[in-house]
Structure 1
Amino acid sequence: MKHYYQLKVGLNDLYPNIWRQIIVPASISLDRLSDVIQIVIGWENIASHYWATASGEFFAEYIPPRKNTGVSLENQMPLFDILNKKGQEMEYMCVIESDDLSRSDRWRHIILLEDDHYKLSLYEKEDDRLPFVRCVAGFGKCPPENVGGIGGFYAYRQIMTERKQPQFGNMFREHGGINCPNCHIYDPNYFDIDTVNRELKKYCRWSRNRHYLWLEEEDLDSSW
């Protein structure tokens, strides 16, 4: 029997919070969990990112070319080695630098372990060939990644919601435009869980072999 976690991923610095509730294998590695978070929140995966634990550990996509940075590779760390008790948290930070490096947008996610022994229901069937990953709840529309951080997002949300402001046309073209047919109907509370789960299913099917296979904890020396 596989071991699953129920996590709540939240952009807790925003009000109201944008959040997702997801089910993942406890053995998922941090690089894979990053991919899942990018999908469920709605990011475009253009930001760099790192993880910070309550004990002061840091994990990233790569280790900076300096000694003694205290940063470890995320693809070698399974989630259950960091979060293993209900109520534990860690941070997932996405950072987007401007072209001239004069500004960086930071999006802090809090990862909360809500259930450390999640049991799949009769409707949540396992597939021996694929890991079970599912979004079960959520709230709020994902901000545009390059909107200017939290302050920029609040301004964007107000302009897009009210529509009558003179900046609406520029906002519409820059963050959606003709590639987003429904952008002119902006609902900050909108979340399409069905689309998210379809994308998760495709991700699990087509990206299994990027670093490690999804393995059971008893089969792991380091991570999946």
Structure 2
Amino acid sequence: MGSAGVKSAKRGARKTVGEAAASEDEVFILQFRVWLKDVNPMVWRRIQVASTMTLREFHGVLQVATGWEGIHLYQFIIYTARYGSWETGARSPAMTLGELKLRKGSRFLYEYDLNIPWEHEIRLEERQSVKPGAHYPACTGGDGDCPQEDCGGPEAWIWRQDNAFGYETMDDLEITTEFLQEVAETKSLAVLDDPDRAEELRAALDRLKERASWLGNRFERRKTNERLQQGEHLNLMHQQM
């Protein structure tokens, strides 16, 4: 919201947070903690959003904060009701967070990629006043890297993490180290003149590069907030094709 202050923040809530109309007196900040379920190590985020934000925009914020790319369908499950992508038959996500009348400690689910759902548990931690000069939405905490899109769900993600530094990785690192050591000792790339050695090195590097992608998208809170301030969530709230 920037330095324009509380008054402009409240007056501009419809512009910056989006689709919902609300009077100035109704605007407040909701602080949520979000967990990605069934993964280890834990992936979690703490985010602050205005009560006038719609569930559709909240979906966009969750995409940015967690590290997803917005390419799949989604739904919220709140009080047994479903809100989300129209293709799922869920209710419209145009409802605002304030209209849900959530209480401190209230929990609900957010599912992304409904073929093999990534389930996020969301809990309302605090309801706060708008702080002058603060930017909303904001990510105020978190840890854990976002899984790779289309990796096959939580079980496949855990398998990839376990195997990213397995025995095969150690073998490929040994091949690469031996090559670098030989180049350093001979001060020559003549080893690449041997087609078998060159192919062995290329294959090892390709496998290492592939396994590096298994580690997911690194979480950096500063960059996450930069993306939110730039309004990237307003793009990701729509499915990316």
Question: Normalization by structure 1: what TM-score?
Answer: 0.69
SS for the counterpart of 2:98 is: helix
More helix by share: 2
Distance 1:165 1:56, change over 3 A: farther
Contact conserved, 1:159 with 1:165, CA < 8 A, in 2? no
Measure, in 2, the Cα distance between the counterparts of 1:165 and 1:150: 27
Cross-structure match for 2:158? 154
Measure, in 2, the Cα distance between the counterparts of 1:205 and 1:153: 25
The C-alpha deviation readout for 1:127-154, integer Å capped at 9, x for no partner, is xxxx721101001000002111011101
More strand by share: 1
Measure, in 1, the Cα distance between the counterparts of 2:170 and 2:228: 36
Cross-structure match for 1:73? 92
Cross-structure match for 1:197? 225
Please list every run of 5 or more consecutive structure 2 residues that lacks an aligned counterpart in the other structure. 1-5, 7-26, 173-202
Select the residue among 173, 190, 209 that pairs with 1:172. 209
Q: CA deviation at 1:63?
A: 5.3
Measure, in 2, the Cα distance between the counterparts of 1:111 and 1:18: 12
Instruction: Summarize the alignment of residues 19-168 of structure 1 with structure 2, pairs less than 5 Å apart.
Output: 19-53=44-78, 55-62=79-86, 71-74=90-93, 76-95=94-113, 104-117=115-128, 120=131, 125-126=133-134, 132-162=136-166, 163-164=169-170
Q: CA deviation at 1:3?
A: 0.6
CA RMSD of aligned residues (A): 3.0
Cross-structure match for 1:218? none
Measure, in 2, the Cα distance between the counterparts of 1:39 and 1:205: 6
Cross-structure match for 1:100? none
Contact conserved, 2:29 with 2:49, CA < 8 A, in 1? yes
The structure whose Rg is larger is 2
Contact conserved, 1:5 with 1:115, CA < 8 A, in 2? yes
Distance 1:35 1:174, change over 3 A: farther
Give identity over the alignment, percent: 21
Cross-structure match for 1:217? none
Distance 1:152 1:23, change over 3 A: same
Contact conserved, 2:33 with 2:125, CA < 8 A, in 1? yes
Measure, in 2, the Cα distance between the counterparts of 1:35 and 1:171: 32
Q: Which residue identity is paired with 1:72?
A: R
Q: CA deviation at 1:85?
A: 0.9
Question: Normalization by structure 2: what TM-score?
Answer: 0.64
SS for the counterpart of 1:159 is: helix
Distance 1:206 1:154, change over 3 A: closer
Q: CA deviation at 1:105?
A: 2.1
Q: CA deviation at 1:173?
A: 3.1
Measure, in 1, the Cα distance between the counterparts of 2:234 and 2:153: 32
Distance 1:139 1:15, change over 3 A: same
Q: CA deviation at 1:111?
A: 1.2
Q: CA deviation at 1:72?
A: 1.0
Measure, in 2, the Cα distance between the counterparts of 1:199 and 1:19: 18
Cross-structure match for 1:9? 34
Measure, in 2, the Cα distance between the counterparts of 1:205 and 1:51: 17
Contact conserved, 2:64 with 2:232, CA < 8 A, in 1? no
SS for the counterpart of 2:56 is: helix
Q: Which residue identity is paired with 2:145?
A: K
Q: Which residue identity is paired with 1:89?
A: R
